[in-house]
Amino acid sequence: MKFFIDTADLTEIRSLAGSGLLDGVTTNPSLIAKNGGVFAKVIAEICEIIPGPVSAEVAGTEYDQIMAEAKVLRKIAGNVCIKVPLTPDGLRACKHLSNDGTMVNVTLCFSAAQALLAAKSGASFISPFVGRVDDIGWDGMQLISDIVDIYNNYDFKTEVLVASVRGPNHVIEAAKMGAHVATLPPAVLRSLFNHPLTDKGLATFLADWAKTGQSIV
């Protein structure tokens, strides 16, 4: 499974990029607004830090506006992935952009039917929002399972990018189902390291080592 980080915080991105665990970054208007900065400049800086796909979302909702904004965004860097909404105009733009060789992330997916349309439109990534589906009393992980099954049936090239991830269980369940990517808030990615037995074991090893009075260097 690939790990993307869902943030526009350059400090967080630089910190986690050093771990070697990041394969890409996703952003959205809310994240850009939260962290401030000039949109195009922020995207450019992220693209310099992370060589993998960096999702930059259009603000337009009509086809012509989406295409005009995509033209500007894809000039920022070669690894920019245009993020479009799962609407008729968004998927129309997705089809044209993907035909031109541009990476496209179709966002705001909440049903398997929508995911099927995105794959038919040539999306590089489909972003189903598991946390938000859970919030309304439906089963977000069942949505991921359904999308993965459908895509496997037809050998679609679109990668399932699990979004709105709330904790480690979402990540593990999605990985078991065969989802290609999870985009994680920084805190969730860091939480994957945590286990009390790891902490306990390390403390024991260090205490035992200290008793030997030795030094490796």
Which residue do the tokens 């993998």 mark?
Answer: 52
Q: What's the whole-model pTM score?
A: 0.94
* 1 band by pLDDT with thresholds 50, 70 and 90: very high
Tell me the fold of 2-212: TIM Barrel (3.20.20)
3-class secondary structure, 81: strand
Beta-strand (E) ranges in the chain? 2-6, 24-26, 54-57, 80-85, 104-109, 125-128, 159-162, 181-184
What letter does residue 124 receive in the DSSP assignment?
A: S
Q: What is the percentage of the chain residues whose pLDDT exceeds 70?
A: 100
Is residue 37 scored above 90 in pLDDT? no
Mean pLDDT, to the nearest integer, of 122-151?
98
Whole-angstrom distance, CA of residue 7 vs CA of residue 169:
20
* 35 band by pLDDT with thresholds 50, 70 and 90: confident
Q: What integer pLDDT is reported at residue 30 of this predicted model?
A: 86
Whole-angstrom distance, CA of residue 24 vs CA of residue 44:
13
* 28 band by pLDDT with thresholds 50, 70 and 90: confident
* 39 band by pLDDT with thresholds 50, 70 and 90: very high
Is residue 57 scored above 90 in pLDDT? yes
* 33 band by pLDDT with thresholds 50, 70 and 90: confident
Where is average pLDDT lowest: 32-46, 85-99, 198-212?
32-46
Q: Quick one: CA dihedral 4, 141, 180, 67, positive or negative?
A: negative
Residue type, 123: A
Q: Are 179 and 162 in contact (CB under 8 A)?
A: yes
What letter does residue 138 receive in the DSSP assignment?
A: S
Is residue 29 scored above 90 in pLDDT? no
3-class secondary structure, 131: helix
Whole-angstrom distance, CA of residue 145 vs CA of residue 115:
12
Query: Could you list the active site residues?
Result: 83
* 4 band by pLDDT with thresholds 50, 70 and 90: very high
Is residue 190 scored above 90 in pLDDT? yes
Mean pLDDT, to the nearest integer, of 60-68?
98
- Following DSSP, what letter does each residue of 148-209 receive, concatenated? HHHHHHHT---EEEEBS--SHHHHHHHHHHT-SEEEE-HHHHHHTT--HHHHHHHHHHHHHH
- Domain boundaries along the sequence of the chain: 2-212
Whole-angstrom distance, CA of residue 31 vs CA of residue 64:
25
**Number of CB atoms found within 10 A of residue 149's CB:** 12
